[in-house]
Structure 1
Amino acid sequence: MFATILPVRSLLAAIFMMMAGSGFLSTLLALRLERGGSSTMVIGLVATAYFVGLAIGALRAGTIVRRVGHIRAFATFVALLSASTLTYALVQQPPLWGALRLVDGICVAGVFICIESWLNDRADATTRGSILAWYMVALYSGQALGQLLLRSGNTAPQVPFELASVLITLAIIPVCLTRSPAPLLEDAASLPLRRLYEASPLGVVGAGVTGLMLGAFYGLAAVYARRIGLDLKGTASFMTAVILGGVALQWPLGRLSDRFDRRHVILGCLAATLAVSLALAAAPGGIILFALGAAFGGLAFALYPLCVAHANDRLLAAERVAASGQLVLLYSAGAALGPMGAASTMSLLGIGGMFWFIALAAMGTLAFGLWRLVASAPVPSAAQQDFQILPRTTPVAALLDPAGPEHAAPYDTPAMQTGDR
């Protein structure tokens, strides 16, 4: 296994450091805005700006990569992200922070495109699954550990931004020193959204709503944590628990979905997410809060790859990469809307409003899924693709999915792909 990742170790080190530095910024900025007296709606707008930037970058950053090459593009995106991170420490003005978060989103998407296309170029049919798994470990572990940097602000308010900038800047080194040749970035395949919805309505709606829920959480979870009485250490621990819970449950739930009708597992996750969100909306204290947070992360993080796997089950092999790219964009669109929806609900219902919003989204999708369960026949178990944990980053990540054209199922015929209409 370790021999598999040796050729890409510099890329994995880069994404780990980049996520350790940038992965906690949404939490930190929400805390600083809340402490500075900004309204929940303003905090939601700043969070939305990041996800809008992420969507723009996913669509447009590839042009820069093709024009100047992977290493130059990567260094440019990381340098701009590092400069933006230091700027937060200089001026605390919500409009400026919103503009900076838009830039951050574009830069992070550009970094993901560079790394993911490079990993795809270095992978083959036998190593793709292992490389993807290690990529997810590097991404999520960096994001989880980065939350601990929140505590560094106790001594001086600018220190977390400075530490984040240092880590982000260090991410340039392993990429610039790598001896691995940079690949050519090809244009991503496209699939009409109508065709994708016709093949898998639940996959399309589920991916978009997962973005809605997780965008709301990432944008406003820190505000929720502070308002229920957690200090900086407690807030960092809560966010870390959610992320680690997301890592822990994705694989078991995915394996379960390989053995049974995947729609049943998706609906079970939605029902459990609804229940956990309602419990969190009541603002529990003590260890139960962290346990519920870890459960929420495990369930909500698993929904996106489950929806991708469900869509892949009902598509032709040649359509799967393009479909995964479209589902990432749907997730990003939902994530851009989530913070504003949650902010509005918090303004109306108070502290627990964010989780009331998430519960409402889960309930609506659960009702839709139950309808699809009645309206369409299941995919035969022999025709289901193996579940694969996938990042919710950019359409380029779809190229890392081992369930691509070379892994077509024996029942992969056009007739098999019309069962979910």
Structure 2
Amino acid sequence: MFAMILPVRSLLVAIFVMMAGSGFLSTLIGLRLERAGSGTIIIGIVATAYFGGLVLGALRAGEVVRRVGHIRAFAAFVALLSASTLTYALLQHPALWMALRFVDGLCVAGVFICVESWLNDRAEPATRGAVLAGYMVALYSGQALGQLILRSGNSAPQIPFELASILISLAIIPVCLTRATAPQLEDAASVPLRRLVEASPLGVAGAGVTGLLLGAFYGLAAIYARRIGLDLADTAAFMTTVILGGVALQWPLGRLSDRYDRRRVILACFAATWMISIALASQPQGILLFGLGAAFGGLSFALYPLCVAYANDRLLPAERVAASGQLVLVYSSGAALGPLGAAASMSMIGAGGLFLFIALASAVMFTFGIWRAAIRPPVPADRQQDFQILPRTTPVAALLDPAGPESAAASTEQPQQQVTHG
């Protein structure tokens, strides 16, 4: 595998370093706002601003990449993200921090578009799966390890922001010094959302609700951890545990969904997330808290690629890449709403309100899935595509699907199958 990702090592190093610097900011900002006396609703609004910027950046940042090229666009996005990160240390005000989080979302989306389109161009059909796996490992391991920087703020409150800015700035170096030729970013194809809903209501709703769950978690989990009595070091460890748990279970659950009706695996994951969230809402302590956190991450992180795979099972091969890109936007839209709903729940109920909100959303989705399974037969085994782990980043990430471009090309040479709707 190492030999397969060697040609894109500079891009993977860059995304690892950038995520180590930026991946913990949502945790840090939530904690700082709470310590300054901001209410849960304000913290939720600031968290929502980031996902709003991520959605807009996913839609618009590609124009910047096309105009100036990948390397210049990457450097510009990273430089602006680094400057934004330092600005947090200058003045703490919710309105300013909301604007900065929106800028952060725009910049991170721009970075993802640069890296993902470049990886797609460099990956050969035989190595695409290894490249995608390497990208996921770099992204999530950087995000997990970055949580440890939270502990650096004990001596001086500005140090975590300074360290984050340093790491983000260093991410420019591997890309600027690479000898690899940057590609031309092509316009991404699109599939109307109505077509997606007609083909797979469960897949679309599942992607949106998964965004709701994880947007709420990323925006407010640190507040939950502090309010149930964890210190700063344990809060960082809890966040790291959830992220690593999320990486660990995606592949086993995905392979399970290849062997059995994928809907059953999705429904089981939503049901288990529902139960685990209720347990977390009861504010457990010690090893039980961390064990439940790892299980929550493992199940909830797997839901998005499972829902994408199920939606693709219901689509024609030529539609799958564009549909996966559209589902990223559905996920991101849900993620933008999640912190607001969770903040309202926490304001009324307390710390456990975060996971009660997540439990309610999971229960509603589970009920919807049961209804869909009752009125529609499963996808035949020979029509079910292989599961692929997919990042929840931008529509360009869909191009990294090892089955994507090839299956689309193949569909032009074969008669299209009739796909049922409803």
Fold in common (TM above 0.5): yes
Shift, 1:2, TM fit: 1.2
User: Is residue 306 of structure 1 aligned with residue 306 of structure 2?
Assistant: yes
* Partners of 1:223 and 1:126 in 2: CA distance: 44
What is the CA deviation profile of residues 191-241 of structure 1, one whole-angstrom value per residue up to 9, with x for unaligned ones?
011111111110000000000000000000000000000000000000000
Match of 1:235 in 2: 235
* Partners of 1:110 and 1:405 in 2: CA distance: 22
What is the CA deviation profile of residues 155-205 of structure 1, one whole-angstrom value per residue up to 9, with x for unaligned ones?
111110000000000000000000000000001111011111111110000
For 1:417, what is the secondary structure of its paired residue? coil
* Partners of 1:293 and 1:369 in 2: CA distance: 24
Shift, 1:282, TM fit: 0.4
User: Is residue 84 of structure 1 aligned with residue 84 of structure 2?
Assistant: yes
Q: Structure 2 matches for 1:263-412, cutoff 5 A?
A: 263-407=263-407
Does the aligned pair in 1 maintain the 2:318–2:407 contact within 8 Å? no
Shift, 1:415, TM fit: 4.2
Shift, 1:341, TM fit: 0.3
* Partners of 2:341 and 2:48 in 1: CA distance: 10
What is the CA deviation profile of residues 15-72 of structure 1, one whole-angstrom value per residue up to 9, with x for unaligned ones?
0000000000000000000000000000000000000000000000000000000000
Match of 2:9 in 1: 9
Match of 2:216 in 1: 216
What is the CA deviation profile of residues 245-270 of structure 1, one whole-angstrom value per residue up to 9, with x for unaligned ones?
00000000000000000000000000
Shift, 1:402, TM fit: 1.2
Displaced runs of 4+ in structure 1, greater than 2 A?
407-410, 412-417
Task: Give the residue type in structure 2 aligned to 1:243.
Answer: I
* Partners of 1:248 and 1:413 in 2: CA distance: 38
Task: Give the residue type in structure 1 aligned to 2:145.
Answer: L
- Residues 347-356 or 398-407, more deviating: 398-407
Percent identity among equivalent residues? Answer: 77
* Partners of 1:396 and 1:247 in 2: CA distance: 21
Does the aligned pair in 2 maintain the 1:317–1:405 contact within 8 Å? no
For 1:90, what is the secondary structure of its paired residue? coil
* Partners of 1:239 and 1:416 in 2: CA distance: 45
Match of 1:205 in 2: 205
User: Is residue 110 of structure 1 aligned with residue 110 of structure 2?
Assistant: yes
Does the aligned pair in 2 maintain the 1:316–1:413 contact within 8 Å? no
Q: Structure 2 matches for 1:97-136, cutoff 5 A?
A: 97-136=97-136
* Partners of 1:413 and 1:238 in 2: CA distance: 51
Match of 1:417 in 2: 419
* Partners of 1:417 and 1:213 in 2: CA distance: 30
* Partners of 1:217 and 1:417 in 2: CA distance: 36
Task: Give the residue type in structure 2 aligned to 1:261.
Answer: D
Structure 2: segments with no counterpart, 5+ residues: none
* Partners of 1:39 and 1:353 in 2: CA distance: 14
* Partners of 2:7 and 2:348 in 1: CA distance: 52
Match of 1:94 in 2: 94
Task: Give the residue type in structure 2 aligned to 1:204.
Answer: V
Shift, 1:416, TM fit: 4.7
Does the aligned pair in 1 maintain the 2:117–2:397 contact within 8 Å? yes
Does the aligned pair in 2 maintain the 1:129–1:402 contact within 8 Å? yes
Shift, 1:417, TM fit: 2.3
Match of 2:194 in 1: 194
* Partners of 2:37 and 2:389 in 1: CA distance: 39
Task: Give the residue type in structure 2 aligned to 1:196.
Answer: L
Q: Number of residue pairs matched?
A: 419
User: CA separation of 1:2/1:199 partners in 2, compared to 1, >3 Å: closer, same or farther?
Assistant: same
* Partners of 2:171 and 2:182 in 1: CA distance: 17
Match of 1:54 in 2: 54
User: Is residue 226 of structure 1 aligned with residue 226 of structure 2?
Assistant: yes
For 1:89, what is the secondary structure of its paired residue? coil
Does the aligned pair in 2 maintain the 1:314–1:416 contact within 8 Å? no
* Partners of 1:152 and 1:405 in 2: CA distance: 44
Shift, 1:124, TM fit: 1.7
